[in-house]
Structure 1
Amino acid sequence: MEATSKRSIHLCYENGDWMSQLPENLWDVPLHYLSLPGSHDTMTYCLDKNSAISVNESKLLQVIDKCMPCIIHPIIMKWSITQDILWEILKWLQAHPQEVVILACRNFDGLTKELHHHLISCIKMIFHSKLCPKDVVPTLRNMWTYGYQVIISYEDVNEVMKHRELWPAIPYWWGNKTATQDLIQYLESMKKNGRPDCFFVAGINLTENLEYILEHPFGSLKKMALSSLPFLKLWIKQQYPGPKRECINIIAGDFIGNHDFVNDVIELNKKIIPPLHYYGNETELKDVSRLSAS
């Protein structure tokens, strides 16, 4: 995970209890019909040979790393830091017992069955009873009643079938665009095709390509993202959460601690006039999505 800026830390505290502060008439709305802010760069690591082994690792691993760093270090570091981040998430959840996080595990290139087993065991061990099974309707009232705080989206279909704690991979609308207007057109075209039935992500992140890099030799992904945020902010404010075809769910981007992104996404939930009722684990749409004017 990239180093957290002071702005991001402030943002975390500022919105640390936003779910528990939603009006009661939204507590029975499934989370996939709410507007949720997301981060595209979470759990992405840039490590080098000078990075230190986590102090939470065993003494043996720390000694091995010192003796054979060129072989052991890269493997230990990536796994160590991942576990550290999961423990940090758990610590945060314990301090915010009515908040829910959705973690997407994806891009498993080269991951063996043994490593899948190791990763899933680690997730279960750390989050334990906070993991929400995929057969539960994830409303806030349900989550609070059973103490669930974590939804794990897992990209490997075979592993999802084996574990009730793993949810199917969440679709990500990734425009792969370098221009803001092109990205907005892509997202609008995806909306016209209809939203998925459960969770999905509308990605507002721009993507560099070789042509863009050559034209902007002194640029960076951060500069690219931040310059687009004022325009994307206007698009975000026009969106509606809910079950209708053109509604959104999770909106995720890079460097989300800027330009009030999180606040804007959360504010969209004020447009919802309770769109559905549910009974047990069955959902039934009634008087669906009477959306207020923006």
Structure 2
Amino acid sequence: MIIPGVEMIRSIVIFCLLTLHDPVSSNQCGKVWLTVSSLWRPVAINNKVVDAELEVNWDLDCPANAGYPDSIKVFTADPAHNKTIKPQLTLLLAEHPRGYYRTNITVGRPPLPGGWDEGGGATLPGPHCLKHHAALYKNGEFLTSSCLQIWPTWMYDLRRQLGRLPIGTLMIPGTHNSGCYKHGDLTRRDAFQRYLLTQDRDVWTQLVHGIRYLDIRVGYYPSIPRNNTVVEETNYVNRFWVNHDIIRITPLMSIIKDVRNFLDVARGEVVILDFHRFPVGFEGRPSRHRRLASILHREFGGLILRPDRGVDGLGPTLNDIWTVGRRLVICYGDQQTVNEYDWLWPPMTQAWGDQQTAEGLKNYLERTILGSKRPRTSQNPLWAVMAELTPIPLDIMLKPSGGLRQMADSINRNLTVWFQDEWWKQTNIVATDFFLGNNLIDISIQSNIKKSNIAHWRL
């Protein structure tokens, strides 16, 4: 039996959870949020390295007549509900003018709360905090706090607000080269992959955190080197790999399994899977595209949403997608293959700046996002900005201590500010490296609520 009003009460509870840890629109004269640094540092006594260290971020935008907060404390539980807990760290803001502080508190790869560890059983909707919280204080008085959190069901949780928005107008958080990760602890040997790995969480964990766009580059390998010999791969499924350019990184089936399992469990979420390039083994081989298409159709079947430009070419609304019951958009970067299969979406435009500095990337993104002609094609209502820095060949040779982690660290916190303050209204998909180093999942959720409010007042 369904109790009248339960649905409304549930929506109110989720909205309260959202505003409780809202890093974008706090009314407490300042906001604080937590990210995870992409950097790592070696340990002197062994081959291990320390990575995934907590970073505290804040923005104090107070009226002229208001006194500014003066300190931030980091806890391993919510200080609003546990008044006796002692802080792990206290920061006096007058001593840290940059607006962020990288701690030596290691987050690691903790169990995901709410039952969201893969295969963990029952999964609870709504946002869930990991153990670390940061709180803002003024003269010892608690003002506001936020936590490092996952939001595995944000689209459907906010369906009353977001349901009428076309997917081409949503701000959708994504990852660049989504399958280029190493799951588990890093060692010094992994430093040699400093220009290959772009993420430090697997695709399942990316989706559970709230990522909804995955950027995939696929290579085809008839034979694989094993134990100093080249072995012919008899199972053609295992011949497909996720690549970073011409280097294979992760078996494609690992990615497919994570996406399928997530869609099975998170029954209202919409995922965009962008097979953007095919850098190895596909040139002049349409049969290999057909093999890949057959795998995708076999694995995802009734979950695949057919191409739909929607009203005004902005794609179907979330309500339209939920009505149909198909929640996976597969964009495919080979038009000839798209022409053969009516369930593949046309190639998606990616705005890629090929920039090496924060200033260069900001100028490129500003021109692209705010320009009068944003790069959406007439066939595909979706488009993505690739908000990461790109090394040049000389970087790889001349900067042995550099790498994509350092480049992500130099840009990620800037992205949080730029999209929060300037670009949220015009952005569709934004993909980044080492996504935990920015706050774009929360920014996207808050931005979509604001977009919904704007659309509502226009009706």
Q: Which TM-score band (shorter chain)? A: 0.7 to 0.9
Q: Which residue of 2 aligns with 1:223?
A: 406
Q: Distance in 2 between matches of 1:217 and 1:268?
A: 39
2:442 is the alignment partner of 1:268: no
The aligned amino acid for 1:104 is D
The CA deviation string for residues 45-89 of structure 1, in whole angstroms up to 9 with x for no partner, is: 78xxxxxxxxxxxxxxxxx99799514259875527212321221
Question: Which ranges in structure 2 are unaligned for 5 or more consecutive residues?
Answer: 1-51, 53-107, 117-127, 129-149, 183-223, 242-250, 311-315
Match for residue 125 of structure 1? 298
Alignment of 1:60-71 (within 5 A): 69-71=229-231
What SS does the aligned partner of 1:183 have? helix
Q: Distance in 2 between matches of 1:236 and 1:175?
A: 16
> How does 1:160-239 map onto structure 2 within 5 Å?
160-191=338-369, 192-195=371-374, 196=376, 198-213=381-396, 216-239=399-422
CA distance in 2, matches of 1:272, 1:28: 10
Structure 1 residue 27 displacement after superposition: 0.5
67-76 or 120-129, which deviates more:
67-76
Q: CA deviation at 1:155?
A: 0.8
Q: CA deviation at 1:8?
A: 10
User: Is the counterpart of residue 6 in structure 1 residue 104 in structure 2?
Assistant: no
CA contact (8 A) 1:241 1:268 kept: yes
Offset from partner CA, 1:109-132 (integer Å, 9 cap, x none):
431111111100110111101100
Task: Provide the aligned C-alpha RMSD in A.
Answer: 3.2
Contact 1:175 1:186 in 2 (8 A): yes
- Report the counterpart of residue 50 of structure 1 in structure 2: none
Length, aligned pairs only: 256
Q: CA deviation at 1:200?
A: 0.5
What is the rounded CA distance, in whole Å, between the counterparts of 2:306 and 2:254 in structure 1? Answer: 23
| SS of the residue 2:232 aligns to | helix
Instruction: Give the structure 2 partner of residue 253 of structure 1.
Output: 432
Q: What residue identity is the alignment partner of 1:79?
A: F
Aligned to 1:43: 179
Q: Greater strand share, 1 or 2?
A: 2
Q: Confirm or deny: 8 A CA contact 2:274 2:330 kept in the other structure.
A: yes
Please give the alpha-carbon distance, in whole angstroms, between the structure 2 residues aligned to 1:106 and 1:151: 13
Q: 1:10 to 1:249 in 2, by over 3 A?
A: farther
What is the aligned partner in structure 2 of residue 283 from structure 1? none
- Unaligned stretches of 5+ in structure 1? 47-63, 278-285, 289-294
Contact 2:161–2:449 (8 Å) recurs in 1: no
1:281 aligns with: none
Give % identity.
Answer: 25
Indicate conservation of the 8 Å contact 1:251/1:265, yes or no.
Answer: no
**SS at 1:271 equivalent:** helix
- Whichever structure has more helix as a proportion of its residues is 1
Query: Within the alignment, does 1:82 sit opposite 2:252 as a pair?
Result: yes
Judged with a 3 Å threshold, the aligned counterparts in structure 2 of structure 1 residues 102 and 209 are, in CA distance, closer, same or farther, namely same
Match of 1:107 in 2: 277
CA distance in 1, matches of 2:346, 2:431: 18
Equivalent runs, 1:25-44 vs 2, <5 Å: 25-44=161-180
Q: Classify 1:214/1:10 alpha carbon distance in 2 versus 1 (closer, same or farther; 3 Å).
A: farther
Task: Report which stretch shifted further, 131-140 or 91-100.
Answer: 131-140
- Partner Cα separation in structure 1 for residue 111 and residue 390 of structure 2: 22
TM-score relative to the length of structure 2:
0.50
Question: Which has the higher mean CA deviation after the structures are superposed, 70-79 or 189-198?
Answer: 70-79
SS for the counterpart of 1:91 is helix
* Distance 1:8-1:184 versus aligned 2 partners, 3 A rule: farther
The aligned amino acid for 2:406 is: K
Greater Cα radius of gyration, structure 1 or 2: 2
Q: 1:274 to 1:210 in 2, by over 3 A?
A: same
The equivalent of 2:75 in structure 1 is: none
* Letter aligned with residue 120 of structure 1: A
After TM superposition, give the deviation of residue 207 of structure 1 in Å. Answer: 0.4
TM-score (norm 1): 0.76
Q: Offset at 1:202?
A: 1.1
- 1:65 touches 1:73 (CA, 8 Å); kept in 2? no
Structure 1 CA distance for aligned equivalents of residues 327 and 336 of structure 2:
24
Q: Do residues 116 (structure 1) and 116 (structure 2) align?
A: no
DSSP 3-state at the match of 2:389? coil
Given that 1:240 and 1:271 are in contact with CA atoms closer than 8 Å, whether structure 2 keeps it comes out as no
Change (3 A) 1:150 1:78: same
Residue from 150, 156, 159 that aligns with 1:20:
156
> Structure 1 136/103 Cα, relative in aligned 2: closer, same or farther at 3 Å?
same
Q: Secondary structure at the match of 2:262?
A: helix
Tell me the residue number matched to 2:325: 147
SS across alignment from 2:305? coil
1:6 to partner: Cα distance:
2.0
Partner of 1:228, secondary structure, is helix
